[in-house]
Amino acid sequence: MVVLPSMFGHDFGDQIGRYVKLVDSNYNEFDVLVERNNGLIYLTTGWHALKDFYGVSLGSWVTMVFVGASKFGIQLKDRFGRKVSTPKFTPSMRFQLEKIVTPFHNFDVLPSPFVHDEFNFEFSYEKRLTGDEHAGGFLVSFRSSLLLTFWFL
Amino acid sequence: MDTSTTALNILDDNGNVWGCTLMFGTDDGPHFIIGGGWKRLVMARRLRQGSRLVLGAPMAGKNTTLYLRVIRN
């Protein structure tokens, strides 16, 4: 989660909608949910996707350039100021949000980062990826334990 | 899960949704194969052989969305 500077929010806040799109130099795109509280603009759900994608850790920097229409160009640097390389995919990667389930925006609640609802893990299954599932792009789940019964009901 | 559907959404722990394909097979016992957007998810989350994942579902029944938590990528 990130909070945009209040000065930026004051000047451009009205040009930012419910979602923003972050685009890097290789046209990879991240949809991020916008939440507002006490005059501040928070980027919440979707922001964390940058961490794995660029392989960055604590102390890294993200430069965001507002290009209008809820869109930002982004560039990353590590904590020593070195440019973080931008992964290239064809077609470029799109990180999308499930926009329908976005909760009603309550202005009184301080925005918080996205977390899974524990209820969604009532039936859960832990798995270590095998070579095929990684290389071939498939995840195979066999009915091998009681935990898995939900697959087939 | 529904054996007649061919689409499945996976919601990961960043809140991103990945549209995947679903194939139901009966060879070597009943199983589902998740493909399509799964491969994009693997690349985007930098998953590799040995990565640990938890898949979750809220209830027994027709789950058209599964929930994913990456323990270690």
Provide the pLDDT confidence category of residue A78 given band limits of 50, 70 and 90.
confident
Q: Is the confidence at residue A137, as pLDDT, over 80?
A: no
Provide the pLDDT confidence category of residue A23 given band limits of 50, 70 and 90.
very high
Supply the CATH number for residue B20's domain: 2.40.330.10
Domains held by chain B: number: 1
- Beta bridge pairs of residue B7: B21
Helix (H) or strand (E) holding A33: strand A29-37
User: Is the residue at B67 inside a domain?
Assistant: yes
Q: Is the confidence at residue A138, as pLDDT, over 80?
A: no
Share of chain A above pLDDT 90, in %: 16
CA–CA–CA angle A138, A142, A143 (5° rounding):
155
Task: Give me the pLDDT at residue A151, please.
Answer: 26
Domain locations in chain A? Answer: 1-99, 116-153
CB pairs under 8 A between A and B: 151
pLDDT single digits (tens) A49-64:
888 898 887 777 888 8
User: Is the residue at B60 inside a domain?
Assistant: yes
Partner B, chain A 82-111, Cβ-Cβ below 8 Å: 89, 93, 95-98
Task: Answer yes or no: are the C-beta atoms of A3 and A57 closer than 8 Å.
Answer: no
Task: Give me the pLDDT at residue A62, please.
Answer: 82
| B37-50: average pLDDT | 87
One-letter amino acid for residue A62 of the chain: V
User: Is the residue at B27 inside a domain?
Assistant: yes
Q: Is the confidence at residue A107, as pLDDT, over 90?
A: no
Higher pLDDT, A21 or B71: A21
Task: Give me the pLDDT at residue A100, please.
Answer: 62
| A107-126: average pLDDT | 78
Q: Could you tell me how far CA A66 lies from the centroid of its own chain? A: 18
- Spatial separation of the C-alpha atoms in residues B73 and B63, rounded to whole Å: 25
Q: Is the confidence at residue A139, as pLDDT, over 60?
A: no
Range of the domain at B63: 7-72
User: Is the residue at B1 inside a domain?
Assistant: no
Predicted complex ipTM: 0.84
Task: Answer yes or no: are the C-beta atoms of A148 and A125 closer than 8 Å.
Answer: yes
Q: Cis omega before residue A111 (within 30°)?
A: no
Enumerate the residues of chain B whose CB falls inside 8 A of the CB of residue A123. Answer: 56-60
Q: Is A125 on the interface with B (CB under 8 A)?
A: yes
Q: Is A140 on the interface with B (CB under 8 A)?
A: yes
- DSSP per-residue codes, A104-149: P--TTSPP------GGGGSEEEEEEPPHHHHHSS-EEEE--SGGGG
Report the CATH architecture of A1-99: Beta Barrel (2.40)
| A14-29: average pLDDT | 92
Q: Which residue, chain included where needed, has tokens 């996707």?
A: A49
Partner A, chain B 44-63, Cβ-Cβ below 8 Å: 44-61, 63
Enumerate the residues of chain A whose CB falls inside 8 A of the CB of residue B32. Answer: 140-141, 151
User: Is the residue at B2 inside a domain?
Assistant: no
User: Is the residue at B40 inside a domain?
Assistant: yes
Q: Is B7 on the interface with A (CB under 8 A)?
A: no
